[in-house]
Structure 1
Amino acid sequence: MPRLMLSNELWSKLKKILLQHAIYNKPDLRITVEGMLYRMRVGCPWRDLPSAFGEWNSVYKRFNAWSAAGKWLNIFKALLVDPDFEWVFLDGSYAKAHQHSAGAASDQSEAIGKSRAGNTSKIHLAVDAYGLPIAFEITGGEINDCTAAPQLVAQLPSAEVIIADKGYDSESIRQQIKAQGAR
Protein backbone atom coordinates (compact mmCIF):
# COMPACT_ATOMS: atom_id res chain seq x y z
CA MET A 1 0.00 0.00 0.00
CA PRO A 2 1.45 3.39 -0.95
CA ARG A 3 1.92 6.03 1.71
CA LEU A 4 -1.27 8.01 2.33
CA MET A 5 -1.50 11.73 3.05
CA LEU A 6 -4.68 12.14 5.08
CA SER A 7 -4.92 11.24 8.75
CA ASN A 8 -8.36 10.30 10.10
CA GLU A 9 -8.67 13.77 11.62
CA LEU A 10 -7.82 15.55 8.35
CA TRP A 11 -10.10 13.25 6.37
CA SER A 12 -13.08 13.96 8.64
CA LYS A 13 -12.63 17.69 8.04
CA LEU A 14 -12.02 17.34 4.28
CA LYS A 15 -14.96 14.98 3.83
CA LYS A 16 -17.36 17.63 5.22
CA ILE A 17 -16.00 20.17 2.74
CA LEU A 18 -16.24 17.71 -0.17
CA LEU A 19 -19.86 16.91 0.64
CA GLN A 20 -20.72 20.62 0.89
CA HIS A 21 -19.43 21.06 -2.68
CA ALA A 22 -21.73 18.45 -4.25
CA ILE A 23 -19.27 15.59 -4.30
CA TYR A 24 -21.17 12.34 -3.95
CA ASN A 25 -20.26 10.26 -0.88
CA LYS A 26 -19.38 6.94 -2.51
CA PRO A 27 -17.86 4.17 -0.37
CA ASP A 28 -14.47 4.62 -2.06
CA LEU A 29 -14.39 8.43 -1.80
CA ARG A 30 -11.48 8.57 0.65
CA ILE A 31 -9.26 6.20 -1.32
CA THR A 32 -10.14 8.05 -4.55
CA VAL A 33 -9.11 11.40 -3.03
CA GLU A 34 -5.95 9.75 -1.66
CA GLY A 35 -5.22 8.51 -5.19
CA MET A 36 -5.61 12.03 -6.59
CA LEU A 37 -3.33 13.47 -3.92
CA TYR A 38 -0.79 10.67 -4.46
CA ARG A 39 -0.69 11.36 -8.19
CA MET A 40 -0.24 15.11 -7.62
CA ARG A 41 2.52 14.49 -5.06
CA VAL A 42 4.62 12.03 -7.07
CA GLY A 43 3.80 13.28 -10.57
CA CYS A 44 3.27 9.84 -12.08
CA PRO A 45 1.10 9.32 -15.17
CA TRP A 46 -2.49 8.40 -14.33
CA ARG A 47 -1.95 4.92 -15.80
CA ASP A 48 0.83 4.30 -13.27
CA LEU A 49 -1.37 5.06 -10.26
CA PRO A 50 -1.01 2.10 -7.84
CA SER A 51 -3.98 -0.27 -7.91
CA ALA A 52 -4.46 0.28 -4.15
CA PHE A 53 -6.27 3.51 -5.09
CA GLY A 54 -8.72 1.72 -7.36
CA GLU A 55 -8.95 1.69 -11.13
CA TRP A 56 -6.74 4.50 -12.44
CA ASN A 57 -9.27 5.48 -15.09
CA SER A 58 -12.03 5.95 -12.49
CA VAL A 59 -9.80 8.15 -10.33
CA TYR A 60 -8.77 10.16 -13.41
CA LYS A 61 -12.36 10.63 -14.60
CA ARG A 62 -13.49 11.89 -11.19
CA PHE A 63 -10.53 14.24 -10.91
CA ASN A 64 -11.16 15.57 -14.41
CA ALA A 65 -14.90 16.01 -13.81
CA TRP A 66 -14.36 17.80 -10.49
CA SER A 67 -11.78 20.08 -12.11
CA ALA A 68 -13.99 20.91 -15.09
CA ALA A 69 -16.93 21.72 -12.79
CA GLY A 70 -14.76 24.03 -10.67
CA LYS A 71 -15.18 21.87 -7.57
CA TRP A 72 -11.44 21.67 -6.82
CA LEU A 73 -11.15 25.45 -6.94
CA ASN A 74 -14.13 25.80 -4.59
CA ILE A 75 -12.61 23.25 -2.21
CA PHE A 76 -9.31 25.14 -2.35
CA LYS A 77 -11.12 28.35 -1.39
CA ALA A 78 -13.05 26.59 1.40
CA LEU A 79 -9.76 25.43 2.95
CA LEU A 80 -8.64 29.04 3.38
CA VAL A 81 -9.69 29.53 6.95
CA ASP A 82 -8.53 32.67 8.76
CA PRO A 83 -5.55 33.65 6.59
CA ASP A 84 -3.01 36.15 7.97
CA PHE A 85 -2.87 39.11 5.57
CA GLU A 86 -0.26 41.05 7.50
CA TRP A 87 2.30 39.94 4.91
CA VAL A 88 1.59 38.39 1.51
CA PHE A 89 4.34 36.85 -0.58
CA LEU A 90 4.25 36.51 -4.38
CA ASP A 91 6.40 34.31 -6.59
CA GLY A 92 6.26 32.16 -9.68
CA SER A 93 7.54 28.70 -10.49
CA TYR A 94 7.80 26.68 -13.67
CA ALA A 95 6.25 23.26 -14.14
CA LYS A 96 7.59 21.25 -17.05
CA ALA A 97 4.90 19.90 -19.33
CA HIS A 98 5.19 16.61 -21.18
CA GLN A 99 6.32 16.91 -24.79
CA HIS A 100 2.93 15.63 -26.01
CA SER A 101 0.86 17.86 -23.73
CA ALA A 102 0.40 20.79 -26.11
CA GLY A 103 -1.97 20.96 -29.04
CA ALA A 104 -5.21 19.63 -27.59
CA ALA A 105 -8.30 20.37 -29.65
CA SER A 106 -9.94 22.87 -27.31
CA ASP A 107 -11.14 26.45 -27.34
CA GLN A 108 -9.73 27.04 -23.87
CA SER A 109 -6.17 28.01 -23.10
CA GLU A 110 -4.11 25.05 -21.93
CA ALA A 111 -1.62 27.33 -20.08
CA ILE A 112 1.32 25.65 -21.81
CA GLY A 113 3.92 27.77 -23.50
CA LYS A 114 7.41 27.60 -24.88
CA SER A 115 10.26 28.77 -22.69
CA ARG A 116 13.96 27.93 -22.43
CA ALA A 117 13.06 24.61 -20.85
CA GLY A 118 10.62 23.60 -23.62
CA ASN A 119 6.89 23.16 -22.95
CA THR A 120 6.18 24.67 -19.55
CA SER A 121 3.43 26.17 -17.44
CA LYS A 122 4.05 28.79 -14.81
CA ILE A 123 2.32 28.90 -11.45
CA HIS A 124 2.08 32.41 -10.01
CA LEU A 125 1.26 32.00 -6.32
CA ALA A 126 0.41 34.29 -3.41
CA VAL A 127 0.80 32.97 0.13
CA ASP A 128 -0.13 34.49 3.47
CA ALA A 129 2.19 35.12 6.44
CA TYR A 130 1.85 31.45 7.42
CA GLY A 131 2.98 30.33 3.96
CA LEU A 132 -0.46 29.03 3.04
CA PRO A 133 -1.69 29.60 -0.54
CA ILE A 134 -4.37 32.25 -0.90
CA ALA A 135 -4.45 32.97 -4.65
CA PHE A 136 -2.87 31.69 -7.83
CA GLU A 137 -2.74 32.14 -11.59
CA ILE A 138 -1.53 29.52 -14.06
CA THR A 139 -0.09 30.75 -17.34
CA GLY A 140 2.07 29.50 -20.15
CA GLY A 141 5.76 29.27 -19.30
CA GLU A 142 6.63 32.23 -21.52
CA ILE A 143 4.59 34.69 -19.41
CA ASN A 144 6.79 36.67 -17.05
CA ASP A 145 5.93 37.57 -13.47
CA CYS A 146 5.13 41.24 -14.03
CA THR A 147 2.62 40.36 -16.78
CA ALA A 148 0.66 37.98 -14.53
CA ALA A 149 1.01 40.11 -11.38
CA PRO A 150 -1.96 42.48 -11.92
CA GLN A 151 -4.49 39.59 -11.99
CA LEU A 152 -2.80 37.97 -8.96
CA VAL A 153 -2.66 41.18 -6.92
CA ALA A 154 -6.30 41.94 -7.79
CA GLN A 155 -7.34 38.66 -6.11
CA LEU A 156 -5.71 39.66 -2.82
CA PRO A 157 -7.87 41.14 -0.10
CA SER A 158 -6.57 43.92 2.10
CA ALA A 159 -2.97 42.88 2.70
CA GLU A 160 -0.76 45.17 4.78
CA VAL A 161 2.52 44.36 3.02
CA ILE A 162 3.10 42.54 -0.28
CA ILE A 163 6.57 41.06 -0.77
CA ALA A 164 7.87 39.83 -4.12
CA ASP A 165 11.16 39.36 -5.95
CA LYS A 166 12.49 41.59 -8.73
CA GLY A 167 10.36 39.78 -11.34
CA TYR A 168 7.45 41.84 -9.99
CA ASP A 169 9.37 45.12 -9.96
CA SER A 170 7.44 47.59 -12.09
CA GLU A 171 5.89 50.96 -11.38
CA SER A 172 2.41 49.86 -12.48
CA ILE A 173 2.44 46.93 -10.02
CA ARG A 174 3.61 49.22 -7.20
CA GLN A 175 0.79 51.65 -8.01
CA GLN A 176 -1.77 48.84 -8.02
CA ILE A 177 -0.52 47.62 -4.62
CA LYS A 178 -0.69 51.17 -3.19
CA ALA A 179 -4.21 51.61 -4.62
CA GLN A 180 -5.29 48.49 -2.72
CA GLY A 181 -3.94 49.99 0.52
CA ALA A 182 -0.83 47.84 0.91
CA ARG A 183 2.88 48.56 0.97
Structure 2
Amino acid sequence: MSPKKERRQIPLESERRQEIELAVATPRDPHDMTWGFFGVGALQAQFIRRPSRQPCVCYEIRGDVGNLHLFRSLSTSAGADLVVGYDQIAAKPATLWRLLRKLEELQVPVRRPLEQFGVLDGVVLEATVCGGVQAIARFTWQRGAAPNGWQPLAEFVELSIEEFDALEVVNEERPHA
Protein backbone atom coordinates (compact mmCIF):
# COMPACT_ATOMS: atom_id res chain seq x y z
CA MET A 1 0.00 0.00 0.00
CA SER A 2 1.34 3.41 -0.89
CA PRO A 3 2.07 5.90 1.94
CA LYS A 4 -0.61 8.27 0.60
CA LYS A 5 -3.24 5.54 0.56
CA GLU A 6 -2.13 4.41 4.01
CA ARG A 7 -2.63 7.94 5.43
CA ARG A 8 -6.20 8.01 4.04
CA GLN A 9 -6.92 4.57 5.53
CA ILE A 10 -6.04 5.55 9.12
CA PRO A 11 -8.71 8.29 9.50
CA LEU A 12 -11.31 6.00 7.88
CA GLU A 13 -10.55 3.19 10.34
CA SER A 14 -10.67 5.66 13.23
CA GLU A 15 -14.06 7.00 12.07
CA ARG A 16 -15.42 3.45 11.75
CA ARG A 17 -14.23 2.55 15.26
CA GLN A 18 -15.93 5.67 16.65
CA GLU A 19 -19.13 4.84 14.74
CA ILE A 20 -19.11 1.29 16.13
CA GLU A 21 -18.43 2.41 19.71
CA LEU A 22 -21.22 5.00 19.54
CA ALA A 23 -23.66 2.45 18.08
CA VAL A 24 -22.79 -0.15 20.73
CA ALA A 25 -22.78 2.23 23.72
CA THR A 26 -26.03 4.06 22.88
CA PRO A 27 -29.25 2.48 24.21
CA ARG A 28 -31.52 1.54 21.30
CA ASP A 29 -34.96 0.19 20.57
CA PRO A 30 -34.48 -3.44 19.50
CA HIS A 31 -37.25 -2.92 16.93
CA ASP A 32 -35.26 -0.22 15.14
CA MET A 33 -34.45 -1.91 11.84
CA THR A 34 -32.22 0.99 10.74
CA TRP A 35 -29.74 0.36 13.56
CA GLY A 36 -26.34 -1.02 12.67
CA PHE A 37 -22.82 -0.22 11.71
CA PHE A 38 -20.39 -1.20 8.99
CA GLY A 39 -19.62 -4.91 9.17
CA VAL A 40 -22.36 -6.03 11.56
CA GLY A 41 -24.32 -7.76 8.77
CA ALA A 42 -27.96 -7.92 7.78
CA LEU A 43 -30.50 -8.94 10.42
CA GLN A 44 -31.80 -12.45 9.71
CA ALA A 45 -33.70 -13.19 12.95
CA GLN A 46 -34.12 -11.69 16.41
CA PHE A 47 -35.30 -13.38 19.61
CA ILE A 48 -36.20 -11.29 22.67
CA ARG A 49 -36.99 -12.39 26.22
CA ARG A 50 -38.48 -9.58 28.30
CA PRO A 51 -39.13 -10.63 31.93
CA SER A 52 -41.20 -8.16 33.93
CA ARG A 53 -38.70 -7.84 36.80
CA GLN A 54 -35.36 -8.61 35.16
CA PRO A 55 -33.35 -7.11 32.33
CA CYS A 56 -34.39 -7.96 28.80
CA VAL A 57 -32.10 -10.00 26.54
CA CYS A 58 -32.08 -9.59 22.77
CA TYR A 59 -30.34 -12.11 20.50
CA GLU A 60 -29.78 -11.35 16.83
CA ILE A 61 -28.59 -13.61 14.05
CA ARG A 62 -26.84 -11.42 11.49
CA GLY A 63 -24.85 -11.86 8.30
CA ASP A 64 -25.35 -13.87 5.16
CA VAL A 65 -25.51 -17.59 4.50
CA GLY A 66 -21.76 -18.12 4.53
CA ASN A 67 -21.01 -15.72 7.37
CA LEU A 68 -23.63 -15.84 10.16
CA HIS A 69 -22.99 -14.53 13.68
CA LEU A 70 -25.00 -14.35 16.90
CA PHE A 71 -25.05 -11.15 18.97
CA ARG A 72 -26.53 -10.33 22.37
CA SER A 73 -27.73 -7.01 23.75
CA LEU A 74 -29.18 -6.44 27.23
CA SER A 75 -31.63 -3.87 28.52
CA THR A 76 -30.34 -1.09 30.73
CA SER A 77 -32.53 -2.21 33.67
CA ALA A 78 -35.50 -4.38 34.58
CA GLY A 79 -38.58 -3.32 32.67
CA ALA A 80 -36.62 -1.11 30.27
CA ASP A 81 -37.49 -1.35 26.59
CA LEU A 82 -34.10 -0.14 25.35
CA VAL A 83 -31.10 -2.45 24.94
CA VAL A 84 -27.41 -1.59 24.94
CA GLY A 85 -24.20 -3.36 23.99
CA TYR A 86 -23.54 -5.87 21.28
CA ASP A 87 -21.55 -8.93 22.35
CA GLN A 88 -20.76 -11.58 19.79
CA ILE A 89 -21.74 -15.00 21.11
CA ALA A 90 -19.85 -18.23 20.32
CA ALA A 91 -22.39 -19.91 18.05
CA LYS A 92 -21.39 -22.03 15.08
CA PRO A 93 -22.52 -20.56 11.73
CA ALA A 94 -23.83 -24.00 10.68
CA THR A 95 -26.02 -24.13 13.79
CA LEU A 96 -27.37 -20.63 13.09
CA TRP A 97 -28.07 -21.63 9.49
CA ARG A 98 -30.07 -24.67 10.70
CA LEU A 99 -32.07 -22.40 13.02
CA LEU A 100 -32.90 -20.09 10.12
CA ARG A 101 -33.93 -23.07 7.98
CA LYS A 102 -36.21 -24.28 10.79
CA LEU A 103 -37.84 -20.82 10.89
CA GLU A 104 -38.50 -21.14 7.14
CA GLU A 105 -40.33 -24.43 7.74
CA LEU A 106 -42.50 -23.33 10.68
CA GLN A 107 -46.10 -22.54 9.83
CA VAL A 108 -48.16 -20.40 12.18
CA PRO A 109 -51.40 -18.47 11.68
CA VAL A 110 -50.75 -14.77 11.26
CA ARG A 111 -53.95 -13.53 12.87
CA ARG A 112 -55.30 -14.94 16.07
CA PRO A 113 -58.76 -14.54 17.58
CA LEU A 114 -59.16 -12.02 20.39
CA GLU A 115 -58.65 -13.59 23.78
CA GLN A 116 -60.82 -13.07 26.86
CA PHE A 117 -57.87 -12.78 29.27
CA GLY A 118 -54.49 -11.15 29.63
CA VAL A 119 -51.28 -11.75 31.55
CA LEU A 120 -50.26 -8.91 33.85
CA ASP A 121 -46.90 -10.13 35.09
CA GLY A 122 -44.73 -12.57 33.24
CA VAL A 123 -42.21 -13.04 30.48
CA VAL A 124 -42.84 -11.58 27.05
CA LEU A 125 -41.20 -13.47 24.18
CA GLU A 126 -40.72 -12.14 20.71
CA ALA A 127 -39.45 -13.47 17.40
CA THR A 128 -38.67 -11.30 14.41
CA VAL A 129 -37.78 -12.90 11.11
CA CYS A 130 -36.40 -10.96 8.15
CA GLY A 131 -36.77 -12.22 4.62
CA GLY A 132 -34.89 -9.71 2.55
CA VAL A 133 -35.19 -5.96 2.54
CA GLN A 134 -38.97 -5.65 2.49
CA ALA A 135 -40.29 -8.71 4.35
CA ILE A 136 -40.31 -8.68 8.15
CA ALA A 137 -42.56 -10.69 10.50
CA ARG A 138 -42.71 -10.07 14.25
CA PHE A 139 -44.54 -12.32 16.71
CA THR A 140 -45.01 -11.40 20.39
CA TRP A 141 -46.64 -13.48 23.13
CA GLN A 142 -46.55 -14.21 26.86
CA ARG A 143 -44.63 -17.29 28.03
CA GLY A 144 -47.13 -20.06 28.72
CA ALA A 145 -49.90 -18.24 26.85
CA ALA A 146 -48.93 -18.55 23.18
CA PRO A 147 -51.97 -18.24 20.92
CA ASN A 148 -53.39 -21.39 19.37
CA GLY A 149 -51.20 -22.43 16.47
CA TRP A 150 -48.14 -20.54 17.73
CA GLN A 151 -46.93 -23.29 20.10
CA PRO A 152 -44.28 -24.64 17.67
CA LEU A 153 -42.84 -21.13 17.29
CA ALA A 154 -43.00 -20.47 21.05
CA GLU A 155 -41.21 -23.74 21.86
CA PHE A 156 -38.59 -23.13 19.18
CA VAL A 157 -37.85 -19.60 20.40
CA GLU A 158 -37.69 -20.57 24.08
CA LEU A 159 -35.33 -23.49 23.36
CA SER A 160 -33.15 -21.29 21.14
CA ILE A 161 -32.88 -18.58 23.81
CA GLU A 162 -31.98 -21.19 26.45
CA GLU A 163 -29.23 -22.54 24.17
CA PHE A 164 -27.97 -19.02 23.44
CA ASP A 165 -27.90 -18.21 27.18
CA ALA A 166 -25.49 -21.11 27.72
CA LEU A 167 -22.99 -19.90 25.09
CA GLU A 168 -19.99 -17.74 25.88
CA VAL A 169 -19.08 -14.30 24.61
CA VAL A 170 -16.45 -14.33 21.86
CA ASN A 171 -13.41 -12.26 22.75
CA GLU A 172 -13.34 -10.43 19.45
CA GLU A 173 -13.26 -6.66 19.29
CA ARG A 174 -16.17 -6.32 16.83
CA PRO A 175 -17.58 -8.16 13.81
CA HIS A 176 -15.79 -7.71 10.53
CA ALA A 177 -17.29 -7.29 7.08
Decide which structure has greater strand share. 2
TM-score w.r.t. the length of structure 2 is 0.28
TM-score w.r.t. the length of structure 1 is 0.27
Which protein has greater RCO, CA pairs closer than 8 Å, 6+ apart?
Answer: 2
